[in-house]
């Protein structure tokens, strides 16, 4: 395996906190990351978002094997050029593709799984581009963000992020990463999250409305559900919020958003879709 410190030296770059650049240089952590994929995960085409200087890319190429492919999305022009040069043999063999561009806007390949050290500043947006693809994910985040992803109802960390993430997958924190594993060290500790796709335990007739409804109610997480429904019609798009309040169970209306399970949100969203006349694209 390529040594991450030597890769950094060969690339001739230094991390820049102002540009959200923190290079993972602990080879033990890099070695472990691909092993967190589920045992039954398809590894024929692995996606890496934020390739940096290639420390993880090298491990993913080994994981995919001679018959597999790795695609790296890297927004930094110089780093993308370095990756193509450093891994020229793998590029020529068709085992590695380097896409220079923003992971939020480039066309992503038909990947089978993703292992990535995400740019923390856009980690939420990238995550919600990847989750709907329903592929196994092993992604690194700021510790606090990861804890919100896996939080359960009734805890202080539980919120919109928890419900939205868990709508798509079973998620768990598999490792916490100290600041010293990066160059330069970030201000906070990091964590690795594994997301294994599965269908939710409930049905939603309109996924876009469900996620918008959850977002709306959590903007008023200190209010009761009754008041949150009334106060957030401009976000949820409900034309008749009062009709939803009148139709919902009193036990639900007395709760706050952070006490509502994803299933409870789905049931309430279904009711809101039925009687609240929300604005929809359809």
pLDDT tens digits, 47-62: 999 999 999 999 999 9
Domain membership flag for residue 119: yes
Model confidence at 281, pLDDT cuts 50, 70, 90, reads low
Residues 109 and 28 in one domain: yes
Domain membership flag for residue 169: yes
Residues 8 and 101 in one domain: yes
Domain membership flag for residue 282: no
Residue 37 counted as an annotated binding residue: no
Residues 14 and 58 in one domain: yes
Residue 76 counted as an annotated binding residue: no
Q: Domain residues for 110?
A: 4-197
pLDDT in tens, 205-251: 999 999 999 999 999 999 999 999 999 999 999 999 999 999 999 99
Domain membership flag for residue 245: yes
Residue 102 counted as an annotated binding residue: yes
Residues 142 and 36 in one domain: yes
Residue 24 counted as an annotated binding residue: yes
Residues 76 and 117 in one domain: yes
Residue 227 counted as an annotated binding residue: no
Residues 104 and 171 in one domain: yes
| Domain harbouring 237, CATH code | 1.10.8
Domain membership flag for residue 281: no
Among the listed residues 204, 197, 57, the one whose alpha carbon sits nearest the alpha carbon of residue 117: 57
Residue 50 counted as an annotated binding residue: yes
Residues 232 and 181 in one domain: no
Domain membership flag for residue 280: no
């Amino acid at each position: 395996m390529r040594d991450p410190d030597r890769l950094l030296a060969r690339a001739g770059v230094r991390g820049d906190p102002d540009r959200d650049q923190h290079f993972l240089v602990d080879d033990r952590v890099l070695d472990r990351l691909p092993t967190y994929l589920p045992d039954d995960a398809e590894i024929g085409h692995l996606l890496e978002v934020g390739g940096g200087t290639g420390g993880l890319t090298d491990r993913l190429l080994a994981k995919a094997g001679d018959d597999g492919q790795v695609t790296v999305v890297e927004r930094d022009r110089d780093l993308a050029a370095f990756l193509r040069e450093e891994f020229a043999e793998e590029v020529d063999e068709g085992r590695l593709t380097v896409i220079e561009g923003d992971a939020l806007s480039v066309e992503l390949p038909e990947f089978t799984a993703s292992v990535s050290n995400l740019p923390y500043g856009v980690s939420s947006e990238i995550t919600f581009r990847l989750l709907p693809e329903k592929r196994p994910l092993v992604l690194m985040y700021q510790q606090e963000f990861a804890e919100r992803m896996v939080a359960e109802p009734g805890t202080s960390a539980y919120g919109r992020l928890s419900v939205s993430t868990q709508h798509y997958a079973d998620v768990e924190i598999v490792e916490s990463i100290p600041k010293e594993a990066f160059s330069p060290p970030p201000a906070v500790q990091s964590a690795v999250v594994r997301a294994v796709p599965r269908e939710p335990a409930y049905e939603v007739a309109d996924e876009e409305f469900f996620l918008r409804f959850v977002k709306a109610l959590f903007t008023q997480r200190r209010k009761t559900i009754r008041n949150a429904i009334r106060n957030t019609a401009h976000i949820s798009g409900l034309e008749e919020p009062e009709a939803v309040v009148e139709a919902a169970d009193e036990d639900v209306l007395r709760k706050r958003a952070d006490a509502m399970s994803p299933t409870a949100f789905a049931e309430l969203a279904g009711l809101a879709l039925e009687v609240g006349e929300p604005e929809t694209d359809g």
